[in-house]
Structure 1
C-alpha cells in the first residue's frame, strides 16, 4: 500500500525476524522486507552472508510516522553494544541512510538521546550501498508460522513477492509476534485510502484467521 509520499530506510538490530515484525506493526510503515546490507560481498545469501549484516528495509509515509519516531523505536528495542551476546558482522547495530537529510536526522536523534541521558548509541551510521533481499522463508517469518493465515491471505496475495510487499502482511506479522492486536489493525484499516467495501472485506477476511 505504498503512497506517493514515502521514504525508505534500512536498519540492522540483530536477527532480522523480530525487527520485521516490530516495525511492520507501526501505522505509516507501508512495506517491510528483510535482507542483507552494510558489506561488500556480492549476492549474499543467508548461508553465505560474507561481510553483510541482517537488516530490515522499510518504506514509510513521513506524514504518518516520522524517521525520528522510527529511530526512537529502533534504539529503544535493542542493545547496540552487544546484540544478543553475539559478536560479528551478521548482527550489528546499523543505520543506513539514503540522502543527506536522513543522515542529518539520524545524527540529531543520536545527539538528542545522548542529551536525554541514554548515552550515545554504539551504532554504525553509513550510506546505503546495496540492499540484498533475503530468501522467501525469512520474509514475514512469524506470519508464516500460521498456515491458516497464509491460506486465508492467498487470494489477496497469490505470490510470495506480493505477500512480502503487502502492508496488511506487515501488520499481521506484527500481530503474530505479539507486537499489536487485531482491534488496532482493524481501526487502521478503516483509515486506509480504499473504499469502505474493500476495507470491510479485508476485515472480514482477517477476522476468520485461526491463530
Structure 2
C-alpha cells in the first residue's frame, strides 16, 4: 500500500546521492574554466533548526559568463507564517500559499547543478539552511562547496590596508564600491544576480591566473 511512497523517497534520496558523488573541479582549476551557481535564500529567520526558506533565486556562471536563460526564482510554500520576517523580504503568507514545494525545488537544484561550485554573499547562512532543508526533505544532508563573496571582499579590503567598517561588507555597499548597479535588496533572484556581478568583478581584479584554490583561501 505504501510502495509509491517508498519509491518516491528512494528516488529523492538517489538525487542527493548523485549530487554528492559528482566530483567538483580540482582545486588547481582556473576560475575561467570553473562553473559556479550563485544563489540567495530569503528566510523566516536566522536559525536553520526552526526557521524556513521562503524563496530561492539562482544564477549560473560558466566560463565567466552569467547564463541568464537559466536564472530561476521560486517562492516556497512555508509550513509556518512568515511573521515579522516579511519586513525584510516583502513576502507574505498569502503569496506563499501558491509557492512550490521545497523538495521539488531542491530536486531541481541538485539534479541540474551537481559539480558546480556554489556562491553566496555571506554563504555560511545559506549553506546551513540548504543542508538542513535537504535533511528535512530527503533524510540526507549533502555537503556543498561554497565561495563567499562577502569574505572575498573583506580579504581584498584588508590587503589594501583599509579599515573595514560595520556596514562595508553589506551587498549594496560592495556593489557600489565595484561600480556595479544597485538592486532591490532582499529579493532572492536580484541578490543572486548582484552577487554574480560582484563575483565576476572580484575575479577580474584577481587577475588571469586565479584558481579555485585561491578562491577557497579568500573565502575562509
The TM-score with structure 1 as length reference comes to 0.27
The TM-score with structure 2 as length reference comes to 0.26
> Higher helix proportion, which one?
2
